């Protein structure tokens, strides 16, 4: 099992990435980060309230759903994190009591051909149980089709997380990902922010947040 920071640092351009995990002391946390190649993608910030995290434009360019969206929603005892408009829709599905592995099938990759960026998401209860991490992505070799790889973990053990990112290549050669991977968490949740931020390419990184599962989003560490 590879460590989270090693996984993040092995990819020059991960696009957007997230992890749900427990640190070595057993504290549950969620993290989400953005990178960008263009001025429009670089011109973004995270706006954090207790029950949501919004990716907002700061460049003065026109707003679009692919770059500007609600990245995290918090319910009474759960949260949903992801890279697009599916976050709010999956949060509503959770309120309605739906299985989010099934609800994910209502979604497709982003309408940005030829890349077809995966829509990634994660959810868990605030006690760290019921972890689901997955994506809606194009099928390799049959790009117009959609597949929904996802991983369900009833309860993560300490020092373990589930990670997924949209890309797995370089800024010049974008390769789509969207495949969940179990990773090791080698330090306290408070250190995840610096670890992941340092592992991201400084010329591409845009923003990041890390928050304990049991705390409102206002307690997040933000970069």
- 194: CATH: 3.60.20.20
Q: Indicate the number of domains in the chain.
A: 1
pTM: 0.95
pLDDT < 50 positions in the chain: none
Query: Facing residues of 142 across strands?
Result: 139
State which residues form the domain around 51.
4-222
C-alpha to C-alpha distance for 86 and 106, rounded to whole angstroms: 9
The predicted structure's pLDDT at residue 65? 75
Tokens of 56: 């907002």
The predicted structure's pLDDT at residue 64? 76
C-alpha to C-alpha distance for 134 and 142, rounded to whole angstroms: 20
């Amino acid at each position: 099992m590879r460590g989270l920071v090693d996984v993040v640092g092995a990819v020059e351009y991960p696009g957007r990435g997230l992890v749900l995990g427990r640190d070595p002391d057993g504290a549950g946390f969620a993290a989400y980060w953005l990178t960008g190649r263009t001025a429009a993608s670089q011109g973004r910030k995270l706006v954090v309230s207790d029950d949501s995290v919004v990716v907002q434009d700061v460049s003065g360019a026109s707003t679009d759903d692919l770059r500007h969206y609600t990245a995290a929603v918090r319910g009474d005892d759960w949260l949903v994190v992801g890279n697009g408009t599916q976050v709010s829709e999956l949060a509503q599905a959770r309120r309605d009591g739906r299985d989010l592995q099934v609800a994910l099938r209502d979604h497709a990759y982003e309408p940005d051909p030829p890349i077809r960026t995966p829509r990634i998401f994660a959810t868990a209860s605030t006690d760290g149980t019921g972890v689901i991490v997955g994506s809606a992505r194009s099928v390799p070799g049959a790009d117009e089709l959609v597949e929904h790889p996802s991983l369900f973990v009833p309860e993560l053990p300490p020092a373990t997380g589930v990670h997924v990112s949209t890309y797995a290549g370089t800024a010049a050669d974008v390769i789509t990902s969207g495949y969940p991977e179990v990773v090791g968490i080698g330090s306290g949740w408070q250190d995840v922010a610096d670890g992941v931020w340092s592992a991201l390419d400084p010329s591409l990184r845009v923003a990041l947040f890390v928050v304990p599962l049991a705390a409102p989003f206002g307690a997040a560490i933000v970069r």
